[in-house]
Amino acid sequence: MKQIERMKHLSLLIWFLVFQVVIFSSQVFAEEKPVVVCTTGIMADLLKNLAGEQVSIKPLMGAGVDPHLYKPTHKDISLLSGADIIVYHGLTLEGKLEPILEKLRKRGKVVIAASEFGRKDLLLAAEDYENAFDPHLWFDPMLWKLVAVKVSSELSFALPEKASEIQASTAEYLQKLSEVDQWTRQQIGTIPEKSRVLVTAHDAFRYFGRRYGIEVDGLQGISTSSDYGLRDVKNLAGKIIDRKLKAIFMESSVAAKFIESLQEAVQARGHEVAIGGTLYSDALGPEGSGADTYLGMLKHNVETVVGGLK
C-alpha cells in the first residue's frame, strides 16, 4: 500500500517538474525576441504594425498619459536600461525623458528618435519656443508615414536577420496610412467651410489642420507644460462667438477644466457652445475603446470633430 502511495507521489512530482520545464522554456523562448521599449502607446502601436511578430514591444506610458509632463519612475529607468532598442518621438515631446535617453545612447544603446527624419522643411515651428518644432506629427498620416519609414529602416539595420519581414509589414502599413488619409479628407470635406475650426485644450492638431484645411486653436501652446492666461480665454471665446462655432473639444490626456472654463466664458457672453466630445491627442484610448490603435484613434477623432461641427 505504502509503495503505491509513494509511486503516486513520485509520478505527481515528475509531472510537476515536466510542467515547470515547459513553462520555463516558453519564457526563455519569449524573452529571445529583442525587447523594444516605446515611450508612448502611439509609438508602440506603430512598432506593432512594423515588427509585431519580430520583437517584444513594451510601452512606457499607458492610455491617457500626457507625454509632455511625464516623469520616468525607477521601474521605467530599469525597463529602458534593459531594452535592446528604444523608440521615442523626439522633438522634445518627451521633454523630461530625453536626458536619460541621451545618456543611454551615449552608452551604445540603439535609441531611435522617430520624428527626427531629416526633413525639417516639412515640420511646423513651435510657436512658444525658439529653434524648436511642433512634435505632434502623428495627426498628419503622410508625416506619420515618414516616421514609419525612419523607424522601419533603423530597426532593420539593428536587426538584419528580421529585416525582410519588417520591410514587408512596413509596406502593408504605409498603404493603410494612405487609405486613412483619403478617408479623413473626404470626411472633413463634409463640414461647412466656415465651421472648419477646431478648438481644443492644447495645440496638438496643427499638422492635422494643415493637412485637411481646418483652422486649429489650442487654449495652451504645443506643450501642456505652458500656461495660458485669461486673455487667451477671452480671445478664443471671441473667435468662437464670431465664427458661430457649435462645438469645442476636450482631450483625453489634458484636464477637462481648461475647456470647461472656455465654454463658461463663451456662454457668459450669450453664445451656446457644446463640448463636442473628447479627442485623443497625445495618448491612445484604453483597450476596447476602439481608439486603442493609431488608426482607431484617428477615426474616432475625425468622427467626433465632424459630428460636433457639422
Interface contacts to Zn ion, rule CB under 5 A: 204, 282
Contacts of 43 (CB under 8 A, 6+ apart): 59, 87, 88, 89, 114
Q: Give me the least distance between CB of 253 and Zn ion, in Å please.
A: 8
Q: Give me the least distance between CB of 248 and Zn ion, in Å please.
A: 17
Which one, 170 or 300, has the nearer CB to Zn ion?
Answer: 300
Q: Give me the least distance between CB of 49 and Zn ion, in Å please.
A: 22
Which one, 124 or 204, has the nearer CB to Zn ion?
Answer: 204
Q: Are 240 and 267 in contact (CB under 8 A)?
A: no
Which one, 217 or 282, has the nearer CB to Zn ion?
Answer: 282
Q: Give me the least distance between CB of 218 and Zn ion, in Å please.
A: 9
Q: Give me the least distance between CB of 66 and Zn ion, in Å please.
A: 7
Which one, 68 or 145, has the nearer CB to Zn ion?
Answer: 68
Taking CA atoms, 18 is separated from 15, 28, 38, 288, 297, in Å, by 5, 15, 36, 37, 45
Q: How far apart are CA 221 and CA 84, in angstroms?
A: 34
For 19-63, give the DSSP string: HHHHHHHHHHHHHTSPEEEESSHHHHHHHHHHHTTTSEEEESS-T
Q: Give me the least distance between CB of 220 and Zn ion, in Å please.
A: 9
Which one, 86 or 201, has the nearer CB to Zn ion?
Answer: 201
Q: How far apart are CA 190 and CA 248, in angstroms?
A: 18
Side by side, which strands form the sheet with 110-113?
56-59, 35-38, 85-88, 110-113
Which one, 155 or 300, has the nearer CB to Zn ion?
Answer: 300
